[in-house]
Structure 1
Amino acid sequence: MKKITGIFLLALELCVLTSIATAQQNKAEQMYQQALYEMEGRGNYAKAIDMFNQVVAQFPKEKSVAAKALLHVGMCQEKLGNREAQKAYERVIKDYTDQHEVVAEARARLDLITGKENKEFIIRRVIEGTDVGFEGAVSPDGRYFSYVDWESGDLAIYEIATGNRRHLTNKGSWDKSDEFAYFSRWSPDGKQIAYDWYTMESLMELRIVGLDSSQPRILYSNKEVVWSQTYGWSPDGKQILASLFKENGQNQIVLISIEDGDVRVLKTLELGFDHLNFSPDGRYIVYHFQQKEDSPESDISILSTDGGREIPLVEHPANDYVLGWAPDGKNILFASDRRNSSDAWIIEFSQGKVQGSPKLISSNIGQANPMGFTQKGSFYYYIYDNAMDINFAELDPETGKIIDPPKKLSARFEGSLTQPEYSPDGKYIAYISVSRGHSALSIQSLETGKIQEFPSKLMSRVNTPRWSPDGRSILVGGWDWKGKKGIYRIDTQSGVSTLVAPPAKLVSESFLGQHEWSRDGKSIFLERFFGNMSRSIMLREIENGTERELYHEESNSRGFKLSCSPDGKWLAFLRMGIKEYVLSIMPAAGGEYRDLYRFKSDNAQIYYQKLIWTTDGKYILFEKFQSAEKNFSLWRIPMEGGEHQKLELESESYIVASIHPDGRHIVFSSPSSTGENSGIWVMENFLPKEER
């Protein structure tokens, strides 16, 4: 009895100690965030220094928080012009050796203020997370990033030393306008930014704005251009390098005059291309392009800016893509999967020709999205580590509670599986597997674990798998090699893909969105959206291809989510407006609809989300983003209407779920523990020494 009592007391003591430790950690983080607000929100650096120092003094055991706090002491001192910044950075390096990322940043900042040049090759993360995304670029002096603030869609800049942010445009909230900035590039002198702007008229304009918050000016706008993208300024600051995708299907590499917006076409291509970069002397442009129509692999080429000469730079069976042209003018950085991982390579180009063979710089850097070189040769890039896994859970159909903790699907690869869907008999799941930026359909047996993969030469990528009612085929949204989306049916036995709804040929036609089977398997529900951003729900007969409109909405929105009831009589649809989401149902054959629930659209990460009917047809399940908790949760509402209920399933990212035919088991995708590398990274001191 004494032994049992002792064990109980020991367990109780451990619980108490754990609770105390958690409370301390939470309090440390809370104080750190308050100090961060004083620094970034109010610009009160002196007060922020005192608050950060309190965190360091009061919570020495919370090393991750204390190290960040001390780092920010240095950043505040640096902002105030005080030499104490150096001491703060030196303390971080000395006292927190196990906090590798914080130490790397402290060392880099210390080198800058002391004038030392670190000669060692290093890769470090500058910003953690996805707030500052891949659409922008690093400024020539390495002090700022341009980026899109997706809270409003405005163009903004981020100061690396302090974390301060500032808008360069002021369009207002999403409630007022759904226009937004997209790709942006700095002028050579760092005083202006050229950027793409999506307008209410569904045009992509090229605009320029100064860092002095002067009024943006429109440099280029053309209704015949479906899409355009800004890639960079010429070194003399007189031209913008861009791509234009026209309604007739032409893809053009162009130079646009800063003075008058005049366009000069350098090359027209049928296949895809990307990552255009000027050479530092302005004589050449490097870019990568698709090797052939039915292949994701790319090669790299150099085009003279007079349009008269093209030189192959990298020709290899692997997928090679451009990262950037180094400021030394001789070295071109690119990524390649030729060693079965995404590695960084460098190749020399000088005197108008390729010099030697590529040299490996760093292995396994991830799927890098280039953000440019600084004048000193540091290369910045963005990693979106959206690692997802598939999990199973048992759901009590009466209470909506999770009975057992979720269990992860045992599969060949981890961190690359999403959008699971149970087969009609519950013996299989279909899902999308992602590898090196490309996606494919897979089917896995839940009895044997055997996996069937369905690669397709017709499609470069696929999403949104939906089993047919008889389980013999799967409907997917698929993009052809020219980037146009169609709806395909994949036979689960032969793997043969059949086009069910073809892509739009011209911009004047409607484009395809979401899709869903009817319960008799003879037709499909489709979302179609048009150039003016109005959208319709259509019922398409598979045999003859005829379509009938069930619902139309003129207002600008983010689209619909669709789901047909188990008895085939009702269609649930979620109207995702700019201001609010509305869950409604209507007869599957068409007719009057009724609204079940309205809620605020707190998050735009909605593309892969879906509606789900319970197998008894009593409830509709939907996802909802909770801004307070900053996570997604699964909810349900009776199809007859009434109170909505939160279920015990939450995730940091979107939840894509499917219910087993038994009505109790649920499969869903959620963030993987391996997805921890998102953010902006910098690669330093990698150029050949004789060239620096």
Structure 2
Amino acid sequence: MMTNKRFIRMSTALLILIVLMSGCTHGQRSETIVIPSTEENHTSDQGSRSFQVKTIYRLPASVTDNDEMLGWSAPDTVIGLFKIVRSSERMKRNLQRISIPYENLTNVQNVDINTHSLELSPDGKYISGITKTQDGDSLTVISLSDGQHKEVARFNSREQLLVQKLSWSSDSRYLSYLFTDSNSRQESLGIYDTDADITKDYHLTGFENTGNITSVKISDDGRSMLFTMVQSSRKSSVVLGIINGSEVDVQYEHQTGGEQIAWLNNEQFVYLGTEGTLYEYDRRNSELSVLLENVERFEFSQNRKYIAYSLNEKDSIFAGKLQGKNILYEEPVYHGINPSQMLWSPDNNSLLVNGEKIYSRLSRTPMVASPSDHQPFIIKFQ
């Protein structure tokens, strides 16, 4: 038996040697042949599997479209701004959280009725908001762990006007906002650095002919911004701005189909073009790539590896994996909804969905655990 095994190994080695020698007759060439072990062959790649729905959680009937779902404060906890009507009192708004199995709301803290435009940081630790006072507006950051309020900027209505465009960087370090000079109407961008506890202002240059700014997304390095603009002709565009000293200069502009934009990293960003084309732009080489077609709405996971999206004239939510310039799997994970909001959980394993329920035009099978109109629900993946 040992002799046979030795003979097989010698024959295999001789065969490989013959193949390599025959390759030399066609010119010099270097090749690397990798023979994976049995253990490597059976190692499962968790990132390569398609999306499979494990559970669909319907949020309580008390949660309606009048409430505002702010996002995830933990992998299994959603936080929102809910309206509460008290006897002999006017309607108040409370920050409340709801955790798995998403049946009961728990109060976090009351919200001043003069505070609006709340934005939850992606890490779920802070909420920013604008509070109106007699003298003007103040920008406040609220810590959800201890309830402390920190004023990071104040605006005198006679000199400056705070524009309601608050946005966190995806790593929750930077908070950006827009404000204008009351006299010159010059627009500026403010950035609050939570790590350094510093606020800096930058003038916007070259934006005079681009239209009105409707949203801002700041990169994780705090040096680049994506602006969505609307012209007088109602055409929309995305504008890339770069900090240059005390100013923000225009570096790139392209027509879009709306306000949906997202950073993939500090060098690449994604936006929805006209006719539903989802583009990826790499500013290092000015390369523009098409990721998907006919997209109506999209949302990337916090690690930027996965995407949830809906398609025009279809009533399904799809989930896929971003790999290079491609979206893999593209699995339908829910039918019968026109989503207006989709938010991935911090562990990238659940999707909060809000939108209007519609009857499926694609499948004859009945829907399972379909929420009522405008009632949020959560899809948990396996």
TM-score, normalised with respect to structure 2: 0.50
**Greater length-normalized contact order (CA 8 Å, ≥ 6 residues apart):** 2
Question: Normalized per residue, which structure has more strand?
Answer: 2
TM-score, normalised with respect to structure 1: 0.30
Question: Normalized per residue, which structure has more helix?
Answer: 1
